[in-house]
Amino acid sequence: MKAQILATTAAAALLGGCVTINTEEGDPLAELKEAQAYNPDIPAGTGYFAERSDLPLYAPDFTKISEDDYLPAYEQAMMIHKAEIEAIKNNPAAPNFENTIVAIEKAGSMLGRINTVFFALTGSNTTDRLDEINTEISPKLTEHYDSITLDPALFARVKAVYDNRAAMTMTVEDAKLLETTYDTMVHAGALLSDAEREQVKAINSQLSTLTTEFSQAARAAMSDQPVIFDTREELAGLSDNDIKSAADLATEKGFDGKYAIALQNTTQQPLLPSMENRAAREKLFMASYHRADGTTDVDTRMLIAKIAKLRADKAALFGEADWASYAMWDRMAEKPKTALDFMEQMVPALAATQRREAALLTAAIAADGGDYEVKPWDWYRYANRIKAEQFDLDEDAVMEYFVLDKVLEDGVFYMAEKLYGLTFQKRTDLPVYHPDVTTYTVFDRDGRELGIFYFDPFQRPSKRGGAWMSNFVEQSHLYGTKPVIYNVLNIPKAPAGEVQLVSFDWVNTTFHEFGHALHGFFADQRYESLSGTATARDFVEYPSQVHEMWATWPSVLSNYAKHYETGETIPDEMIEKIEAAAKFNQGYDFGEVVEAALLDMKWSALSPAEAAAIDTPEKVDAFERRSLEELGLEIDLVPPRYRSTYFSHIFSSPAGYSAGYYSYLWTEMLDRDSRKWFIENGGLTRENGDHYRATVLSRGGTMDYFQMFQNFAGRAPDVTPMLEARGLVAGDEAADSEVSDGKLPGSAVN
């Protein structure tokens, strides 16, 4: 996702419409003459990134970009951006909204064009050279942006406009941009002393270097260190295609005649359930679990310790107790305690579920002739077996109904047409950064071009793990730009000539990521920095999650879920089994996410002294262990979705999802409550889609998030539908649940 820091909500008085407070103002004619007289000399850029692309909607032309372009372009773009900022500071006219706030918004356009392409490629199709450039340029970019956000003279102009806001006539979005600009600079350190600002700059530079190093190390530990098996027998249970892929990867890595399995992003590995050899299962799992912890030549533990210490030190400079308190300034939840209370209230029911499910799995092992208790590497093998028996669900048989092209075009696109009136046209004229990428023009409900969509579905060593959405071009009425958006997934690619089938999990992910894309396509903002998905970290996942509901909506499902050989539509009974089985195994599925979110908060809650005491790799391990044990969950049976050593969400960028991984749970609460609203109001209809678009998807980061949800649903959010969906509380038990009263900490609409 794009990482933009947004401020807290605008004043409640500004949320309802334009601000029309008219007080004494200066002479407009005199101000216009003064502005016209000021014509600063801004250097012109050269090279590809100096101007907008000449492709449709300014999409990037990858045929005209080489790796050697980036460093010179970056140096030039930072120089131009700095000159633009100097021009704002030196403007002899009194600071006003246009010559200061909008001017800051406009500055740095060349730099923005480089960033959107460069960081798209380092995430999805990197090379050794791009990694080298990233290592070199990241601290320079941090220093550059710090020099702007921490510039006292620039802040003085921003503050002058901000302090005069009551006497100004602004739209709601103007008011939000002003508040965002001011609050972002304050959060960066504009109100600190000169010495403190210098300390912040030094910390930011170090964090940029360390988090880039962490990101590259974590990716190397995943993509460059596959697990090697000597014999085919060790891989018994895997499909012929999986075994062939393992043999091919081993050859590619220099292990001819052996078999290699590449690690996936999370602690659990997708091939484990199919593997019959328990020792082989344990080997694969332990390689994943011990990734980047010094078991091999990759060790991120001291990077983690240094990052945690620097974050705690930075928070202290702002008078905050810990990094979480500092980082959550613009979140929907606002305070660490709100997020912690939200998660911790789930722990008792979740712990009981883990113990109950573990006992079921150990019993299944005994029934299978095994004389051992379930371990993490056994869990999904026997959980899937119980699913198959209890729900008569065969995961491999389910996959046969999900052909990737149909999932996208006849499923996701079909949903978008029925709900929002969108249509799509595949195109072959746009250059792409990898042959696996396909592109589509997206047309709006009135037939006009809405944007361009890039789809990059397959796993490859040059791509980091996970799935995400971002923009090559942001929507902005100020610039007259429409969104150019990409989705990136990590689906294992079928061998050449084979039909590309996908698991139901990847079906859900495809709908999820396109939910992010819709959030971007429906952006209707004047300013890029408030546009589309430029929302709080604990809100941005909500619109994407709610779109997962349409993956199994009957009319959508019947349009895309066709057997790859017979063309038969997936039987209703199979879907009923999928949905019934979804509530089983929540001890693991939900538990590993809750543990990761709570582990993130533990790292983010360290004081400077506590962080300083974690000064060896062994102490990093001990802190992680102690933190997980304090949760009261069965952590040896259900390890967190990510251990600290490869938790890229929270350690691979200066901020990222740190003190924010809880967002996936928080937004699931909003998602499940929204699904309830859709169902109660008729489901997949244009009326419902237009309402959701108007109240949520088109609003960007322009208003209070609780107010936004209330505008959509007509009420505050309720956590109960999420717990029911997870099988942690039954519908008829909701009235007795501690968390079923519809009240959420901080949910009052002001």
Q: What is the pLDDT of residues 211-244, one digit of tens each?
A: 999 999 999 999 889 999 999 999 999 999 899 9
Measured over the CA atoms of residue 657, residue 658, residue 662 and residue 666, the dihedral's sign is negative
Say yes or no: 236 and 166 in one domain. Answer: no
User: pLDDT tens, 317-374?
Assistant: 999 999 999 999 999 998 999 999 989 888 998 999 999 999 999 999 999 999 999 9
524-545 average pLDDT score? 96
Q: Is 83 strand, coil or helix?
A: helix
Q: Say if residues 11 and 178 touch (Cβ distance below 8 Å).
A: no
pLDDT at 577: 87
- In this model, does residue 262 exceed pLDDT 90? yes
- In this model, does residue 730 exceed pLDDT 90? no
pLDDT at 247: 96
- Tell me, what CATH number does 126's domain have? 1.20.1050.40
Catalytic residue among 84, 234, 513, 668: 513
pLDDT at 744: 39
pLDDT at 582: 81
Q: How confident is the model at residue 655 (pLDDT cuts 50, 70, 90)?
A: confident
Q: How far apart are CA 274 and CA 164, in angstroms?
A: 65
- In this model, does residue 30 exceed pLDDT 60? no
Residue 84 lies in a domain: yes
Look up 513 and say whether it is catalytic.
Answer: yes
The highest-confidence range among 157-161, 331-335, 737-741, by mean pLDDT, is 157-161
Who has greater pLDDT, 439 or 4?
A: 439
Q: Write down which residue in 290, 322, 342 finishes a domain.
A: 290
pLDDT at 747: 31
Who has greater pLDDT, 643 or 726?
A: 643
67-93 average pLDDT score? 97
Residue 514 lies in a domain: no
629-637 average pLDDT score? 90
Say yes or no: 62 and 157 in one domain. Answer: yes
Q: How confident is the model at residue 737 (pLDDT cuts 50, 70, 90)?
A: very low
Q: Domain range holding 75? A: 56-191
pLDDT at 580: 86
506-522 average pLDDT score? 98
Q: Write down which residue in 264, 290, 316 finishes a domain.
A: 290
- Compute the radius of gyration of the chain from its Cα atoms: 26
User: pLDDT tens, 198-210?
Assistant: 999 999 999 999 9
On average, the pLDDT of the chain sits at 90
Residue 320 lies in a domain: no
Say yes or no: 101 and 179 in one domain. Answer: yes
Q: How confident is the model at residue 31 (pLDDT cuts 50, 70, 90)?
A: low
The closest alpha carbon to 636, from 267, 360, 382, belongs to: 267
Residue 126 lies in a domain: yes
User: pLDDT tens, 562-593?
Assistant: 999 999 999 999 988 888 888 888 899 999 99
Residue 244 lies in a domain: yes
pLDDT at 67: 97
Residue 609, Cβ density class (10 Å: 0-12 exposed, 13-18 middle, ≥19 buried): exposed
Q: Write down which residue in 290, 323, 341 finishes a domain.
A: 290
pLDDT at 32: 53
User: pLDDT tens, 439-495?
Assistant: 999 999 999 999 999 999 999 989 988 899 999 999 999 999 999 999 999 999 998
Say yes or no: 163 and 235 in one domain. Answer: no
Say yes or no: 171 and 113 in one domain. Answer: yes
Q: Say if residues 204 and 654 touch (Cβ distance below 8 Å).
A: yes
Helices 376-390, 347-367: axis angle to 10 degrees equals 80
Say yes or no: 122 and 80 in one domain. Answer: yes
Say yes or no: 185 and 66 in one domain. Answer: yes
Q: Is 535 strand, coil or helix?
A: coil
The pTM assigned to this predicted structure is 0.84
DSSP 215: H
Number of domains in the chain: 2
Helices 172-188, 152-163: axis angle to 10 degrees equals 140
- In this model, does residue 386 exceed pLDDT 50? yes
Say yes or no: 124 and 241 in one domain. Answer: no
Q: How far apart are CA 121 and CA 493, in angstroms?
A: 19
Say yes or no: 122 and 175 in one domain. Answer: yes
pLDDT at 18: 32
The closest alpha carbon to 216, from 298, 308, 313, 318, belongs to: 298
User: pLDDT tens, 663-699?
Assistant: 999 999 999 999 999 999 999 999 999 999 999 999 9
Measured over the CA atoms of residue 198, residue 203, residue 205 and residue 206, the dihedral's sign is positive
At position 471, the amino acid (one-letter code) is N
715-741 average pLDDT score? 64
Say yes or no: 166 and 268 in one domain. Answer: no
Q: How confident is the model at residue 728 (pLDDT cuts 50, 70, 90)?
A: confident
Residue 456 lies in a domain: no
The highest-confidence range among 8-22, 127-141, 646-660, by mean pLDDT, is 127-141
Residue 105 lies in a domain: yes
Residue 230 lies in a domain: yes
The closest alpha carbon to 211, from 662, 648, 661, belongs to: 648
- In this model, does residue 5 exceed pLDDT 50? no
Q: How confident is the model at residue 723 (pLDDT cuts 50, 70, 90)?
A: confident
Q: Determine what percent of the chain is predicted with pLDDT higher than 90.
A: 82
- In this model, does residue 731 exceed pLDDT 80? no
Side-chain-side CA neighbours of residue 317 (13 Å): 26
The closest alpha carbon to 154, from 214, 107, 218, belongs to: 107
Say yes or no: 166 and 235 in one domain. Answer: no
Say yes or no: 74 and 138 in one domain. Answer: yes
User: pLDDT tens, 413-435?
Assistant: 999 999 999 999 999 999 999 99
